[in-house]
Amino acid sequence: MRRRQRAAAGGGGSGRRQAVAHLGGLAAGACIPLITAMFTVSYSDGDARSGELSTPSGAVSTPGLLVYTHRGGSMNLTPDLLEPLRAAGLQGLQLDALQFLNQPTPAVVQGGGGGRKFMALDGPGTVLVATGRDPAIYEYAGAMRQATNEWASVTTPTGAATVTPERYVEAVAALHPDVWVALSDDIPSDSRTDRAAKSVDRTAAWLAACLAAAAQQPGLAAAAAWAAVQGGQYLHERQRYAEAVAGQPGVSGYVLGGLGTGESPEQRQQIVQAVLQRLPAGAPRMLSSVGTPEEVLEAVAQGIDLFDTAYLLDVTNGGYALAFPLSPEADQAEQQAQQQPGAAAGAAAGAAAGTLQAAAGVAAGEAPADACGRDDSKLNLWALAYRTDKRPLLPGCTCFACANHTRAYVHHLLQTHEMTAQVLLEVHNTHHYLQFFREIRTAIAAGRFAAFRDWFLQRRQRWLVSEGGEQ
């Protein structure tokens, strides 16, 4: 069933619940920053929903992808390369504020005109979301991330550092973001019960301190504040914090933090469900550090609106190009093209097959997936099968990489360790993934998201049986 809703981000709505447990320090008094971001839910299909997060700098259509950045820049893309991606749906960027604690310092960033100008991210329509965690860094190997009631020990590009809520807000304010996430005591899923309880209490206290500090920062006068929900794998701790923060003045959105740290998919679904049931229905919800296609679909089905993830970075650094079909129709065309290759079907049939293959991203006569360095979702451009392949990364794709370069060229760049390979792959992968999110939004608006999700998941299962089982 589809329905149309409109609500201010963080508004009470029917989904707001009264807090059942008092968390010390949660009240921020009169020092509450202005909420300037508006969130609109346009369509719902089950628990999945599509809408728009509007900010003074622009809007992000949801479910949406916040493109990953490291130290203020997309890993392999210069600002001019980001511009063509706007047509594919690039609207928002994620910035880890902790990467601006010491090198460069907030003073340096502020002296350079603020984060937007300093990092050349001041193009029209660019929404910046400042967070307190790098999705590409797993900080918990070896020893648990340390914290006291006053500060958290965090990983920065120059090593470990301690950060207080006030120091964190100073770094955030220098970035001039549209949305910022309050500092939280981020812990892995397998933390002990007592550690999870401390994380919840500290995160609540730090939220109040962050809001108070933000009220004194001109750089955050037009920014919306979001709260991170912690609690490890323990549902009662997650629920305790969600219930308490749901009515917090000055908070306009929520981030499910501490996930992607070893919990099972089943645990993650239980955590997301338990938290979302206790948050305002009209507020935006973001899932941090989780973002494969399958994970995105499962989270969207539960009602998640935004994702910050290093998935594209991992794919690009591995030398892969995303190549999965974006719709059931394209998938069907791919299957038909593989069943009737042009060389075996005569001139007329070959032309028809070529048309289907172009629509599906498969060229005439392509070998089975396991024979040419690809699986159900991506191409491995390191594979020797692509050494003389004159096709674009994905036939039919309109990105810069596919419009101007071949698989053979990218393969050559990888083999010679030229960084241009990662540049072209990230251009393509970002373009393709943004198109994937656009298809998700279209499916929700049409009331067929469940069918879209089932098709995508079944397609992978089909490949594992028909292709993976033969290897």
Q: What is the phi-psi region of residue 222: left when phi exceeds 0, alpha when psi lies from -120 to 50, beta otherwise? A: alpha
Contact 58, 126 (CB under 8 A): yes
Binding residues for Zn(2+), as ranges, are 397, 399, 402, 428
Contact 307, 329 (CB under 8 A): no
Binding residues, as ranges, are 397, 399, 402, 428
- Strands 38-45 vs 320-322: parallel, antiparallel or unpaired: unpaired
Compute the distance between CA of residue 114 and CA of residue 122 in angstroms, rounded to an integer: 10
Q: What are phi and psi of 51, to 5 degrees?
A: -170, -150
- Strands 159-163 vs 7-8: parallel, antiparallel or unpaired: unpaired
Which residues are bridge partners to 8 per DSSP? 38
Amino acid, res. 201: D
